[in-house]
Structure 1
Amino acid sequence: MTQESAPAPLTGAKFAIGTFAVALATFMNVLDSSIANVAIPTLSGNLGVSVDEGTWVITLFAAANAVSIPLTGWLTQRVGQVKLFVWAILLFVASSAACGLAPNLLVLLAARVVQGAVAGPLVPLSQALLLASFPKEKSSSALSLWAMTATVGPIAGPALGGWITDSYSWSWIFYINVPVGLFAAGAIWAVYRDRETPARKLPIDKVGLLSLIVWVAALQIMLDKGKDLDWFASPVIVILTVVAVIGFVFFLIWELTEAKPVVDLRLFAGRNFLGGTVAISVAYAIFFANLVVLPQWIQGFLGYRAVDAGLVTAPLGIFSVMLAPVMGKVMPRSDMRVLATLAFLGFAGVFFMRSQYTTGVDAYTLVLPTLLQGIPTALFFTPLTAIVLSGLPPEKIPSAAGLSNFARIFTGAVGTSLVSTGWNDRTILHHARLVEQSSVNNPNFVAAMADLQTTLHLSADKATALFASTLDAQASMLGLNDIFWLSAVIFVAIVPLIWLTKPGKGMGAGAAGAGGH
């Protein structure tokens, strides 16, 4: 499909129903990436497996999802945008139902692999369909709508998952996808079926596909299981790392020399695609990793319930949603690089605020940075997505969106693993330093212990146990503060990446099909 043969933008009821259905399908998909997280302990208990075994529900979904995302470009040309999108939604619905009905862990994991694989094309195709639905001069509004749904999903997931698990059953975190998905698929087919992109029989790059599956799956599993298996002290982690490195190098060489590669790595030759993708991937890695560890700390050390920990992170969506329509109006008159820079500096400020937390932090101090974080979040996805897709013809957008989303989501997994490990390591370091001060040779320590026993009427053993618990909480807090502070520094440090891109004619309009590439 050439730019000249692109269908006219949608109008009226078709526009309203079509964009709502596409946004709903996107929301359902991204929600599912985080909704299972808080249900793992309950789910594992009901299925009679350990929590470590239960976490494979998240690991295998992420691995299958990561593999399938970059295949979107090839699948779109083979099947057609609309058919692929609708089939992906219907298969997502079927696999969601299978997850809820699973009688044991093996069946659940098999269903999650299918669910993750068919979820891959949904995000990049939703971008392509929304961009085609809006007039070219309003493409920034399309990207804002997409960013809003893609951002709110992971934020709402933990709170919704916690509430459903506590109130009903873990199965319902999967069942809720069935009516939502069926409605979205029916509405999208009704609106978009006469706007299908041409399909043609393309040979599949089998070697490239196989090498992609091998290195991505190996690296994803290595990252997810590294902490549990003590990283490179485990032969399993060493083997997975070797397989991932060799597989990646082979994949890189093969895809760059193959005439019809399964993943079009040549897109990285474009300055805007390269700079925008690297910037959005690094930023998302820090953003998502902190979104994972913050609720863990709130539950583990502040004693919040899963649903309450989810509610603490939920205000992140308030400004994201409120500012989405504003962004649609601001972007056409703005340089995307300025907006993205403001977002990164805003994130830096928020993480610096969090680096000042103490173990006595109250709910207001927890929620305020989360609420404020919604502002840079609104400024973050849309301008960087516009930079990534600028200058590309319509037929290249599914491939580019797929590859960029793959890089973003995969870097998010890497970032989560690195941040979790870093938090653990810094906690151990601070614990050791605090223990050094907790000696009978330190008069301050001796006086503090005596005061504990006198004030709270505790025995020496109970006072020691209380002190040890307090020390653990303090070490964890100091370790997390280090992570927050480093996150703030990284956000400032990656600002120059944005300025490696060029504005080009039309980027100010947020046009995904205008110059600058």
Structure 2
Amino acid sequence: METGFRKWIIVITIITSTIIELIDTTIVNVSINTMSGNLGSTLEDTAWVITSYAIANVIIIPMTSFLAQTFGRKQYYIGSILLFTAASACCGFSTNLWELVFFRFCQGIGGGALLSTSQAILFETFSVKERGLASGIFSLGIIVGPSIGPVLGGYIVDNYQWQWIFNVNIPIGLLAAFLSFIYLRDTPKPTVQKSIDWWGILLLIAGIGSLQVVLERGQTDDWFAANYIVALTAISVISLLLLVWRQLSIDNPVINLKVLKSGTLAISAIMTFVLGFGLLSALFVFPLYTQRIIGYTAFQTGTILLPGTMMAALISPFLGKMLQNGIRPQYLIICGFGLTAAFGFMMSRNNLESGDANFLLALIFRGLGAALLIVPLTALAVSDLKPADIPQGASLNNMMRQMGGSFGIALTNTYIAHREAINRTALITHVTASDAITLQRRQSFVRNFMAHGANYLHAVQQSIEALERTVVRQTFLLSYMDAFLLLAILNALCIPLVVITIKRRPVVKVGKIEIPDAH
């Protein structure tokens, strides 16, 4: 536990490191088109810039507790910051796509390590009674990072070269490494060197890495129609089953799965998976809707997300204080799932004419819901663990959030594609030569095109193309609305799961008075 100036310098350093790591999960998304043109690659190939970072993240996150114990947490943390910073610089200097993909993978290895290690350091910086406040502060990075990534990325792409998306990390990373070196206390490495579970590491890389590739690339390559997706799915299933068996049967596992004996951690991990599913799926669907349908730029889309994000950031420390003062985490989580469901229901009622005024309240609900989920789940996950088990518990919980996001984006993308086929079929059954409304719309298009100089035959051809664009736009709209509704239903269904975890507090008798035990 730290106090005074040193304590808050550590807090600032930890939050800064967390934010820059999570910003990099979304900042690249808005610059894919620009990168593709500058590097002379296809959009499908350029998407590996995003995929490689995500794969590295989910591989390294569950290993962070083991690696921190092996190398010493301070040394491992500073090394991870420096790796992240150096890889960022190399990304900015890359001259071809596959160089960039490789350095993004290295950046993900360094960045993924920051997330769980930061949480463990922050929990040790505060006393046990202040752990709720620590969760609130740590949640700032989780909430702010992914949301401001598109804003920052859009601004940089619109005003500077895309390389600055990576170069901005360099001074921040160097400052964070310097402050960590000065203010973090040394953590001794084990006096007895434990044997390294190389088979566990190999199975983890094969299982989680293959699964992440399947999730990231499945929809693009038509899932199991692609032979490599089938092969990677088999590798993932076999490797993960062997990994679980090995980790439970050896003395020095790379991932201590025995911490999942804590029912609180196990249930929190499930809810954190759902949180990641909803949080990143919403950040996936909303930009698609606003940019494809409403016509927003990437920067405008990011800007409209900011009020809800800032609201969430403002209340996070207060939520931490509420937990510290004894409020049950489950009550906050129920409110969080309720507000997130409300966001989905409200967004599912939008149309082609919707704008900022229609989105603002829904996005504020989304931001508040995210804070009400992230803060208590972060605290609840490790609440029953021994201090020595907290780093491993935090790592598993963070991995579940990342995996939830990966599953969420993959399944939401697939669901949208499925709904597009259904919605298009439903729409075009009404667009026929005998339909009065269709004929009226087509004649209106013909008159408009002829008024702008087209001859009759050309105007008829243009009217058919205009009808097709209208059908496509309506198809996308209905599909995105279906996706928002799906997210709303999934979040609403989580509320009963949370309710059953609320156990009646034991009662302590003081004389004739019964007082609920605060613990």
Match of 1:267 in 2: 259
State the number of aligned residues. Answer: 501
CA distance in 2, matches of 1:482, 1:73: 40
Match of 1:14 in 2: 6
Match of 2:221 in 1: 229
CA distance in 2, matches of 1:448, 1:498: 51
Match of 1:104 in 2: 96
Larger Rg: 2
SS in 2 for 1:314: helix
SS in 2 for 1:410: helix
* 1:286 matched to 2:281: no
SS in 2 for 1:334: coil
CA distance in 2, matches of 1:204, 1:293: 42
CA distance in 1, matches of 2:100, 2:381: 36
Amino acid at match of 2:92: G
CA distance in 2, matches of 1:136, 1:471: 58
* 1:385 matched to 2:378: yes
Mapped contact 1:40–1:54 kept (Cα < 8 A): yes
CA distance in 1, matches of 2:71, 2:16: 22
Match of 2:363 in 1: 370
Amino acid at match of 1:357: N
Counterpart among 402, 408, 416 of residue 415 in structure 1: 408
Amino acid at match of 2:487: S
Match of 1:201 in 2: 193
After superposing the two structures, state which structure 1 stretch, 198-207 or 226-235, moved more: 198-207
Amino acid at match of 1:219: L
CA displacement at 1:243 relative to structure 2:
1.6
- Cα 1:196–1:167 shift into 2, 3 Å: farther
After superposing the two structures, state which structure 1 stretch, 270-279 or 186-195, moved more: 186-195
CA displacement at 1:371 relative to structure 2:
2.3
Provide structure 1 residue ranges, at least 5 long, that are not aligned to the other structure: 1-8, 507-513
CA displacement at 1:313 relative to structure 2:
2.1
CA displacement at 1:214 relative to structure 2:
0.7
Mapped contact 1:276–1:498 kept (Cα < 8 A): no
Amino acid at match of 1:204: I
Deviations 1:302-360 (CA, angstroms, capped at 9, x unpaired): 22222112212222312111112221222223110011011001111111000101011
CA distance in 2, matches of 1:15, 1:196: 20
1:313-324 correspondence runs (5 A): 313-324=305-316
1:148-227 correspondence runs (5 A): 148-194=140-186, 200-227=192-219
Mapped contact 1:77–1:200 kept (Cα < 8 A): no
CA distance in 1, matches of 2:473, 2:250: 54
CA distance in 1, matches of 2:483, 2:205: 32
CA displacement at 1:247 relative to structure 2:
1.7
After superposing the two structures, state which structure 1 stretch, 447-456 or 484-493, moved more: 447-456
* 1:247 matched to 2:228: no
Counterpart among 322, 330, 333 of residue 326 in structure 2: 333
Amino acid at match of 2:76: L
Mapped contact 1:391–1:515 kept (Cα < 8 A): no
Whose relative contact order is higher, 1 or 2, with alpha carbons under 8 Å and at least 6 apart?
Answer: 1
CA distance in 1, matches of 2:140, 2:366: 14
CA distance in 1, matches of 2:364, 2:241: 42
After superposing the two structures, state which structure 1 stretch, 63-72 or 226-235, moved more: 226-235
Q: What's the RMSD between the two structures over aligned residues?
A: 2.0
- Cα 1:86–1:193 shift into 2, 3 Å: same
CA distance in 1, matches of 2:518, 2:98: 49
Mapped contact 1:26–1:123 kept (Cα < 8 A): yes
CA displacement at 1:363 relative to structure 2:
2.0
Match of 1:405 in 2: 398
Counterpart among 387, 395, 411 of residue 388 in structure 2: 395
Q: What percentage of aligned pairs have identical amino acids?
A: 30
Mapped contact 2:17–2:81 kept (Cα < 8 A): yes
CA displacement at 1:102 relative to structure 2:
1.0
Amino acid at match of 2:404: T
Mapped contact 2:262–2:385 kept (Cα < 8 A): no
What is the TM-score with the length of structure 2 in the denominator?
0.92
SS in 2 for 1:121: helix
Deviations 1:153-198 (CA, angstroms, capped at 9, x unpaired): 0000011011112211111111111110111111122111346675
CA displacement at 1:200 relative to structure 2:
5.0
Match of 1:72 in 2: 64
Amino acid at match of 2:466: L
